[in-house]
Chains A and B, each alone.
Chain A
Amino acid sequence: QWLQAQLQPFFPDE
């Protein structure tokens, strides 16, 4: 089973 990760943890908010 795979889970699609969210992008935000990789690119912090400005």
Chain B
Amino acid sequence: MFEARLPQGQILKKLIEAVRELVTDANFECKPSGLSLQAMDSSHVSLVSLLMRADGFDPYQCDRNRTLGINLRTLASVLKCSSNDDIITIRAEDDGDSAILIFESPSSDRLSEFDLKLVDIDNEQLVIPDTQYDAVVRMPSAEFQRIVRDMQILGDSVTIACSKDGVKFSANGEIGSGSVRLKQSSAVDSEDDAVTVDLQQAVSLTFALRYLSLFSKAAPLSPTVTLSFSKDVPLLVEFRIADMGHLRFYLAPKIDE
């Protein structure tokens, strides 16, 4: 049997809200080490990679590897039936064709149970190579979300330029052009508010805002986001999930026609 109990159930709610517009169906790979998911969007331009380690659950039980194919829109609808402070348990019997979701109120006086039919998903697993990035930018996730939203009024793509001074986002379109420049923080009260640029070499890349906007829906998961860039390789946008794992998005670079 597979059973994973997540005391902070709202993490799962935020996760599924963050990916449901990008990916329709996904295979949850359940292993003794934890839960993972890898899926591309339908146009094969971006990839979602999720990891939730077993030690982030309490308890976590996985006797053998299981693949749970789940429609994320259905899952999102079901998760809306839980409260933000509910404890959420995911359970799957060995010979079952469904995943069971249990929502438990903090005082355990309310228990709801939903049985979700599993779906068969033909999912190709891609191998993500280890990459030494030219630039790694860390910033508040709310700031990332705001910049992506602001740039969308100008055009459908954004150029992100990283230098030792900071990072500059710029867009131009028919109505005009604009940019937002973030300087590296010198002194901040909280590390979560800092903007840092870890630079091997200056880099400037252009990406479709539509996808960055979808990625930025993960902002409620984590106070900070990390953007990793190298010339001619996919952008990595990473949100850490508390102390238990991460949600990563990869986006192929735009190419000059």
Flag if B257 contacts A7 (CB, 8 Å). no
Q: What is the chain A residue whose CB lies nearest that of B157?
A: A2
User: Which B25-64 residues have a C-beta within 8 angstroms of A?
Assistant: 40, 43-47
Whole-angstrom distance between the alpha carbons of A3 and B256 in the complex? 6
Chain A binding surface, main DSSP class: loop
Flag if B40 contacts A2 (CB, 8 Å). no
B256 cross-chain contacts in A, Cβ below 8 A: 2-3
Q: What is the chain A residue whose CB lies nearest that of B131?
A: A10
Flag if A5 contacts B255 (CB, 8 Å). yes
Flag if A8 contacts B125 (CB, 8 Å). no
Flag if A8 contacts B44 (CB, 8 Å). yes
Contact segment of B4-12, B68-76, B143-151, B246-254: B246-254
How many chain B residues touch A (CB < 8 A): the figure is: 25
Select one of A1, A7, A13, A14 contacting B234, CB under 8 A: A7
With A2-B254, A2-B257 as known contacts, state yes or no: A11 contacts B128, CB within 8 Å. yes
Flag if B252 contacts A5 (CB, 8 Å). yes
Select one of B126, B157, B250, B252 contacting A12, CB under 8 A: B126
B253 cross-chain contacts in A, Cβ below 8 A: 5
Select one of A1, A10, A11 contacting B257, CB under 8 A: A1
Decide if B208 is an interface residue (CB 8 Å cutoff).
yes
B residues near A, CB below 8 A? 40, 43-47, 124-129, 157, 206, 208, 233-234, 250-257
